[in-house]
Structure 1
Amino acid sequence: MSPDPTPVLRPPFLGTARQHATDRVPMAVRRDSVEAVLTGLRGRQFDAASVVAVVEHGRLEGLVTIERLLAAPLGASMAAVMDPDPPVVTPATDQEHAAWVAFQHGEPGLAVVDDDDRFVGLISPQQLFGVLLSEHDEDVARVGGFLATSAQARAATTAPVRHRLAVRLPWLVVGFAGAVLSALLVSLFQAQLEKEVLIAFFVPGVVYLADAVGTQTEALIVRGLSLGVDVRRTAWLELATGLLVGGFLAAIALPAVYLLWGDLPVACTVAVALFAASSFATAIATALPALIHRFGKDPAYGAGPLSTVIQDLLSLVVYFLAATAIVF
């Protein structure tokens, strides 16, 4: 008898077969008679009694369902009525995989054994059913684009105003602080703006386009996190996309600004700023949601305000540095 050959592993026993297994189940040895086992069941309390485990020297020899035990002749031995090769899983097997193993074999309980076939415990039918319900709930939540479980998503949707404010306001206060910093940053370049007013015309456009590029990336990353996608798989694709988008915007801005305003240095400044700001925005929008998610917070609340603040500040810094280098 060997454990299922394709277990899916998680960190130590979190969401694994070991978490749901219990050794408070009926047990017997091969030579025990059916009558003796049935007599021994009376007056005792078990966590699960749908299956009798036949165990010799700590090793699992087979399983007998309670239905088969009741139908067997009283004088028959457990060795004669047991299933000597039942489906089993290891303690580290993923809970969903374990539930499906039991379901596919039509078992009312699933045995958990270690690598040496030593009996760890049984997963009861109630536990198996609970695992399937929990996993189904999580899968539906992910398909719906929610983070974690649908219960949490429903709680967030129906939360009272007080809770909504408590979750959202801290992030918006950070956004306000960023707006103040942005105003201070622009004031540092007051002399340059007075000398070349045309530079000021493109500040909103550069900041908006960087935010728009970042928002697109952020939406994809948050959606990927809700679906359980590894961010590392999409990070490089998004970063490459950000560079290409920035290059495309720069290629459009350069001739457009020059043809409309006739100022080549300003046109080059806008083009350089759009390329750099779009690239930075993609990187920030990729990293922040993953970082917030890692700290156990919902990136749907925090990623937007925080990434917007950082993107705006960087966009302004890049734009005015480019203007200082090219125009002045």
Structure 2
Amino acid sequence: MGLMRDSDVAPVQPLGTAARHASLRVPVAAPHDTVDAVLAAMRGQDYDSAAVVAVCRAGVLVGLATIERLLAAPGDRTVGSVMDPDPPRVAPGTDQERAAWKAVQHGEPGLAVVDGQGRFHGLIPPQQLLGVLLEEHDEDLARIGGFLHTTAGARTASEESVARRLWHRMPWLAVGLAGALLSAAMVAGFEDQLVDNVAIAYFIPGIVYLADAVGTQTETVAIRGLSVGVGIGRIATREALTGLLVGLLLAAVLLPVLVLVWGEPALAAAVAVAVLAASAIATLVAMALPWLLARLGFDPAFGSGPLATVVQDLLSILIYLVAVSLLLG
């Protein structure tokens, strides 16, 4: 029983990885040590965390024993008999967020860091796990929610002068204006079809609205998930599939209704196809743009809303008019 020293293992600790947060100042015992001996050896020691005892044999981790298990066990029992022989563990290079969530999902107060040979590289204490989760949660929620990366930055953006507000917002609104002009040009390019059948124009606002609504729902779901610790990567596939299914359901409802009301199956099919494709794409745009802007160093608070709207609207109009051109000849 003892305290593992830094010289025992010398793990590399790059930023953002499990090794960065692993501590060797934790109680370490051998499987044959008795519970009484372990608890006695822990008294008077200065640990970073004493919530978990790492059970090692020749430097190789064989299990973890929580302090609760040790206190509840008879004193003559060996640590090997009360430890968890298969605790959650991560490699030193594991991303810090993934490591923290693995500990939470297994209900462990600490997480062991081991290399490919099972050698013990330290334990991530519970306070470190909590710190990682809060840090990652704040970063993800800020990025997807349309805020700056740091709280100080968000406060500055909220309290800045009118001139600075205009400086930050007008470039993105100019992009929106350019998008509006481009959409007008796109519609003008299909003038012949619109002249032949003015009903084509009736459905443009509805298709654009549905795409925006689906995108807004995706952003809301992403923010709610992040608020309870669910990263964007964990919902991306299911949310994309949901957007596709939403488009399918909307198209399935619209198609017979439009055929019945307007009596134009080709136009109804064009609207249904546009709604399906626009809904699926809007979901992807709503998840991708805030993340992309943040990675490029732009503030998603000002850019993601206008840019997402422009991109979704242009794609929706383009998809619809192309479908009309193909299906109505």
TM-score (normalised: structure 2): 0.59
| 2:128 is aligned with 1:127 | yes
- CA deviation vs aligned residue, 1:89-130 (integer Å, no higher than 9, x gap): 211574134146565xxx5x5544457543221222421443
Greater Rg, structure 1 or structure 2? 1
**Distance verdict in 2 for CA 1:181–1:24, change over 3 Å:** same
Cα shift at 1:63: 6.9
**Distance verdict in 2 for CA 1:244–1:170, change over 3 Å:** farther
| 2:174 is aligned with 1:177 | no
**Distance verdict in 2 for CA 1:300–1:191, change over 3 Å:** closer
Cα shift at 1:310: 2.3
**Distance verdict in 2 for CA 1:26–1:177, change over 3 Å:** same
Distance in 1 of aligned mates of 2:107 and 2:174: 51
- Alignment partner, residue 305 of structure 1: 310
* Identity, % of aligned positions: 33
- Alignment partner, residue 6 of structure 1: none
| 2:248 is aligned with 1:240 | yes
Distance in 2 of aligned mates of 1:202 and 1:114: 63
SS at match of 2:123: strand
- Alignment partner, residue 278 of structure 2: 281
Distance in 2 of aligned mates of 1:125 and 1:275: 52
Q: Which amino acid aligns with 1:98?
A: A
Distance in 1 of aligned mates of 2:107 and 2:276: 50
Note the aligned Cα RMSD (angstroms): 5.2
| 2:88 is aligned with 1:83 | no
Q: Which amino acid aligns with 1:177?
A: A
Q: Is the 8 A contact 1:222 1:289 kept in 2?
A: yes
Q: Is the 8 A contact 2:25 2:48 kept in 1?
A: yes
Distance in 2 of aligned mates of 1:233 and 1:65: 41
- Alignment partner, residue 259 of structure 2: 251
Matches within 5 A, 1:1-328: 18-25=19-26, 47-48=48-49, 53=54, 55-60=56-61, 83-84=79-80, 85-87=82-84, 88-91=87-90, 94-99=99-104, 101=106, 109-113=110-114, 117-131=118-132, 133=134, 146=145, 155=154, 158=158, 160=160, 168-188=169-189, 196=195, 199-200=197-198, 203=201, 205-226=202-223, 227=225, 228=232, 229=235, 230=237, 231-248=239-256, 250-255=258-263, 270-271=267-268, 273-292=270-289, 295=292, 297=294, 300-319=305-324, 325=329
Cα shift at 1:242: 4.1
Distance in 2 of aligned mates of 1:65 and 1:269: 68
Number of equivalences: 278
Q: Is the 8 A contact 1:285 1:307 kept in 2?
A: yes
Distance in 1 of aligned mates of 2:193 and 2:53: 85
Q: Is the 8 A contact 1:23 1:122 kept in 2?
A: yes
Distance in 2 of aligned mates of 1:191 and 1:68: 79
Gap regions ≥5 residues in structure 2: 1-13, 92-97, 226-231, 295-299
Q: Which amino acid aligns with 1:251?
A: V
